[in-house]
């Protein structure tokens, strides 16, 4: 499936584009002179990535911009086969030697609609559909109706991950692990480098606790409230992660759909 053509929004249209072989200071930060960097740039070019696009909230020396930086990799926009994609690439000092496991987990999550679409995977990088919206930590819904819609969609996706048997591992701090599409107000769970296969993944229960960090979630729902019935239902969910128990959790959180 091909990615959407074109750059979205005037800031992206104005973003600087650099041929991928000349973008080492951004793509390979913090060690653009490494042998790893030379290999990464060559593999990206052979995969059809032609340009790095300087865009995002992370500014590097020299004025380069990234979508994100983590202990495993750098995330940046690029042109691939004429379309814009997000690239997550192992940086030279990563403790990981391969992204193939993250690619497998991401592909499964994308199939279930939990993560953005995965276009290509490689030992050194993955190419995915870009989501230009803010991280969940930076979202401020205009109304509680909007907040509840967003939270219902996000909890549903955590439930889908549980049914897949994939433990994300970082949803206790969801502010940086969730991106929100600003047009559709659709949340996507990203960053599967810490994920594992698990019989009882616990994504939903971990996320419920993590969402209590968000003031607007506490204000608009019963997330974070001391509720004995909710705690009992969450324990029941750990034993039986069924759709019926999931619906009961939404009801206890005041997230059930109106009658």
Helix ranges (DSSP H) in 70-125 = 100-111
pTM for the whole structure: 0.92
Task: State pLDDT tens for residues 224-254.
Answer: 988 899 999 999 999 999 999 999 999 999 9
Task: State pLDDT tens for residues 186-219.
Answer: 999 999 999 999 888 999 999 999 999 999 999 9
Cβ atoms of residues 124 and 92 within 8 Å: no
User: Angle at Cα 126 formed by Cα 38 and Cα 49, nearest 5°?
Assistant: 55
Superfamily assignment of 136-252 in CATH? Transferase(Phosphotransferase) domain 1 (1.10.510.10)
Cβ atoms of residues 127 and 80 within 8 Å: yes
Domain ranges of the chain: 10-128, 136-252
Q: With cut-offs at 50, 70 and 90, classify the pLDDT of residue 14.
A: confident
């Amino acid at each position: 499936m091909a990615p959407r053509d074109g750059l979205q929004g005037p800031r992206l249209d104005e973003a600087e584009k650099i041929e991928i072989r000349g973008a080492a200071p951004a793509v390979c930060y913090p060690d653009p002179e490494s042998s790893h960097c030379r290999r990464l740039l060559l593999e990206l070019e052979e995969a059809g990535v032609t340009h790095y696009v300087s865009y995002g909230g992370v500014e590097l020396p020299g004025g380069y911009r990234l979508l994100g930086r983590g202990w495993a990799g750098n995330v940046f926009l690029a042109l691939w086969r004429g379309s814009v994609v997000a690239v997550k690439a192992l940086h030279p000092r990563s403790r990981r030697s391969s992204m193939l496991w993250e690619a497998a987990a991401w592909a499964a999550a994308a199939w279930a609609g939990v993560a953005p679409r995965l276009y290509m995977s490689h030992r050194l990088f993955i190419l995915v559909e870009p989501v230009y919206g803010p991280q969940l930590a930076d979202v401020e819904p205009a109304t509680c109706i909007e907040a509840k819609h967003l939270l219902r969609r996000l909890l549903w996706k955590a439930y889908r991950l549980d049914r897949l048997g994939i433990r994300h591992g970082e949803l206790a701090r969801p502010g940086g692990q969730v991106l929100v599409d600003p047009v559709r107000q659709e949340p996507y769970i990203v960053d599967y480098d810490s994920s594992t296969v698990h019989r009882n993944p616990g994504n939903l229960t971990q996320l419920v606790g993590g969402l209590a960090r968000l003031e607007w979630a506490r204000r608009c729902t019963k997330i974070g409230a001391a509720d004995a019935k909710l705690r009992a239902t969450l324990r029941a969910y750990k034993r039986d992660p069924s759709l019926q128990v999931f619906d009961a959790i939404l009801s206890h959180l005041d997230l059930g759909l109106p009658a």
